[in-house]
Amino acid sequence: MGLRLYNTMSGKTEEFTPLGDTVKIYTCGLTVQSEPHVGHIRAAMVRDTLMRWLGYLGYRVVALENFTDVDDKIIEKQKEYNKDWRMIAQDNIDTYLRACDQLNIMRATFYPRASQHMEEIINLVVQLIDKGFAYEKKGDVYFRVRKFPEYGKLSKKSIDDLMSGARIAPTESKDDPLDFALWKAAKPGEPYWLSPWGKGRPGWHVECSAMSMRYLGETFDIHTGGEDLIFPHHENELAQSLAATGKPFARFWLHNGWVTLTGEKMSKSTGHYSPIKDVLAKYSANVIRMFMLKTHYRKQLAYDDERLDEARAALMTIRTYIDNAANKYGEMEEILEPMMLDTFTEAMNDDLNTSRALSVIYELIKRSYKEDDFKIAASVNYYYSLLGFTREIESVIEPYKDVMEVVREVEEKLKSAGRSEILKEICAGFHDRIINIKHVNELYSQIIALLLDIRMKLRDEKNYELADYIRQRLLDNNIIVDDTSDGSTFRSGTV
Ligand SMILES: [Zn+2]
């Protein structure tokens, strides 16, 4: 069976085949009034996973991700900071793209901006008025929801339910509380564009319909975005598009779960969020990727340090294994027939089940303890890259500090046992081993190897108490020592 994706529209997991020879994807991107947070990165990471997997399956992909750079909130910021809205937008776009690059998130093919597509937006609004789906009132234009019987199909809401909570704000001149703005008349001092209805700017929803149609056509394959966008944003996008063209809009709607912080949804508008730059200052790109891929994209994801530390430990297991294997076998070329490919493919084809795909990697690492095989190492390395992880140097500063602490404890214990010369003896050789080390990853491994040498010496002297102490302290730090007839080896212990 091929790729299956959960479609919010049908509420089912459906077999995916593209309409044409290229898969066309539209992702609702950032409203650029403030800096991006972990929630935005998750949406981009889902697009990245989808693009990588479609690429692996042999599809060509065109992906669009928009920037909402004209919006009430950006206009408020312009007043607050006394800074032009274009500068505010550009700063936040730069921060976002830099973070995505740092995180090895594949770039979309194109990042259209609302402010650069006024002609398409205005044409779409004119079309909707001509067809009777929209009306103008005092320079504003509204979509007439009751004219569109299918409204609510995506979010599974009925017009009657919506009616009970709907109100008309004093600033709005719409006929029906359900109607939503396609175009807003400009107030004094606000940015504006000229239109058949006077000076104004577009509402939020209409830009995504106009820009997706401009670049992907009236019907395209996959629409992605956070689940918080289902209503009203995607429902409105769908209504406008169907009303204007009469043709199907997105064939698949993929929605990722929220990211929560202390149990609540991360959100820019409430100020309850972790900016991505703060997270990147603390954790590496691979750790953040592991944190996200460990959980299926449709589930909610709780952001907290404990979860990220777990992700780091999970990553270190793979990294320690790959780094050790690279030392042993040299650099690993791409492998033609990786092991457990069917299981890995089945997991990814099952609505991009990355957590199950990761378990294939751990299964292979487990096997490597029993059978020593280059093919296992090459397969692990292959899946690791396929999921977008990089072989860049990890920041192992925290784990490094932890093993250095163990060295200090052992030093103390040797001193009080009157055996300080063991340390001197072994450290003499240690200097030769570390002199050519290029990065901290390797130093970390060498310090553990040093502790194992001390342990071996203590065992030779039948000082089992201190030897076992070293083994236990390493285990406390997630490092498992395996004793073989050829000596001791170690591995990261989260498998
Ligand atoms: Zn959108």
Domain ranges of the chain: 4-280, 305-386, 397-492
Q: Which of 4-18, 292-306, 480-494 is predicted least confidently?
A: 480-494
State the Cα–Cα distance between residues 56 and 104, nearest whole angstrom. 17
Q: Is the model more confident about 281 or about 394? A: 281
Q: Are 413 and 466 in contact (CB under 8 A)?
A: yes
Q: 250 C-alpha to center of ligand 1: Å? A: 12
**What is the 33 CA–ligand 1 centroid distance (Å)?**
15
pLDDT digits (tens, 9 = 90+) for 182-220: 999 999 888 899 999 999 999 999 999 999 999 999 999
Tokens of 354: 């990355």
Give the pLDDT confidence score for residue 395 in this predicted structure. Answer: 66
User: How many C-beta neighbours within 10 Å does residue 246 have?
Assistant: 9
- Distance from Cα 234 to the centre of ligand 1, integer Å: 7
**From ligand 1's centre to the CA of 486, what distance in Å?**
60
Distance CA 112, CA 67 (A): 6
Four-residue CA torsion sign, 170, 172, 178, 181: negative
CA of 5 to the centre of ligand 1 (A): 20
Give the list of residues 6+ apart from residue 349 with CB closer than 8 angstroms, or none: 1, 2, 3, 4
76 CA to centre of ligand 1 in angstroms: 20
The runs of H, that is alpha helices, within 218-304 are 235-245, 276-282, 285-293
Query: What separation in Å is there between the alpha carbon of 29 and the centre of ligand 1?
Result: 7
Q: What is the mean pLDDT of residues 285-305?
A: 96
**311 φ, ψ (degrees, to nearest 5):** -65, -40
Backbone angles phi, psi at 178, to 5 degrees: -75, -25
Residue 349 tokens read as 């084809």
In this prediction, residues 357-384 reach a mean pLDDT of 93
The pLDDT, as a whole number, for residue 10 is: 98
196 φ, ψ to 5°? -60, -15
d(CA 103, CA 387): 12
Contacts of 68 (CB under 8 A, 6+ apart): 29, 30, 31, 32, 114, 204, 207
Query: What spacing in Å lies between the alpha carbon of 188 and ligand 1's midpoint?
Result: 27
More confident residue, 135 or 405: 135
Distance CA 30, CA 87 (A): 15
53 alpha carbon – ligand 1 mean position (Å): 23
What's the pLDDT tens digit per position in 408-442? 899 999 999 888 888 888 887 777 777 766 666 67
Percent of the chain with pLDDT over 70: 98
Highest mean pLDDT range out of 229-233, 388-392, 481-485? 229-233
- Per-residue confidence band for 152, with pLDDT thresholds at 50, 70 and 90: very high
Q: What is the pLDDT of residues 322-370, one digit of tens each?
A: 888 887 888 787 788 999 999 999 999 999 999 999 999 999 999 998 8
Give the whole-angstrom CA distance, residue 457 versus residue 423: 10
> What average pLDDT does this structure show over 164-170?
79
| 4-280 classified as CATH 3.40.50.620 | yes
Query: Which has more pLDDT, 57 or 373?
Result: 57
Any residues with CB less than 8 A from the CB of 486 and at least 6 apart, and which?
A: none
Mean pLDDT of 366-384: 91
The CATH-assigned architecture of domain 305-386 is Up-down Bundle (1.20)
Q: How confident is the model at residue 169 (pLDDT cuts 50, 70, 90)?
A: confident
CA of residue 266 relative to chain centroid, distance: 14
Q: Could you tell me the two tokens for 141?
A: 């234009």
Please state whether beta strands 220-226 and 140-143 pair in parallel, antiparallel, or not at all (unpaired).
unpaired
Task: Round the average pLDDT of the chain to a whole number and report it.
Answer: 91
Cβ-proximal residues to 463 (8 Å cutoff; 6+ apart), any chain: 417, 419
What's residue 313's pLDDT? 87
182: nearest Cα among 243, 250, 269: 243
CA–CA dist 208, 121 (Å, integer)? 9
> Rounded to two decimals, what is the model's pTM?
0.87
